[in-house]
Homo-oligomer: A and B are copies of this chain.
Amino acid sequence: MGIFSKTCEYALRAVFFIAHRTSEGGRVGIKEIASGVGSPEYFLAKILQDLSKRGIVQSAKGPNGGFFMEEKSLKQPLSNIVLAVDGKALFTGCALGLEVCSEKEPCPLHNEFKNIRNQIQQLLQNTTIEEFNEDLNLGLTSLRK
């Protein structure tokens, strides 16, 4: 198990892919996205339907339709995607899975993990989706395999 669920990994990769294409001014179909990020097509379709309903990405039906992102969407922090898909457990949950775990009633690992959780949260909140377009353009980073 990684940091994110598989669903969330697909979501992030797909959003990066759409953002990249959007910056070149276009819409992308689900087939192309799925093959571009190496995910199962129908499964990713479900994920993007959900992100679309939440306004995280935009979509249009019919010929020349597809997924795209408005300016505003491109400036969203990555945390929006993670929260939508995996919820807030990664940011606020107890490492040992206890329901009651706080400064006042800490689990043994509470203090040890506090800093790490904060860093993850800061990272995802302070990084926007569009920040990765340039590197994808230049082929410096990759989204599949």
Which A positions have Cβ atoms within 8 angstroms of B?
Answer: 1-6, 9-10, 12-13, 16, 38, 86-87, 89-90, 93-101, 105-110, 112-113, 115-116, 119-120, 123, 127, 132, 135-136, 140-145
Cross-chain contact B96 with A112 (CB below 8 angstroms)? no
> Which of chain B's residues have a CB closer than 8 A to the CB of A141?
106-108, 110
Cross-chain contact B113 with A3 (CB below 8 angstroms)? yes
CB proximity of A52 to chain B, nearest CB, Å? 20
CB proximity of A139 to chain B, nearest CB, Å? 10
> Which of chain B's residues have a CB closer than 8 A to the CB of A101?
142
Cross-chain contact A89 with B1 (CB below 8 angstroms)? yes
> Which of chain B's residues have a CB closer than 8 A to the CB of A100?
142, 145
Which of B12, B97, B112, B123 has a CB less than 8 Å from the CB of A6?
B97
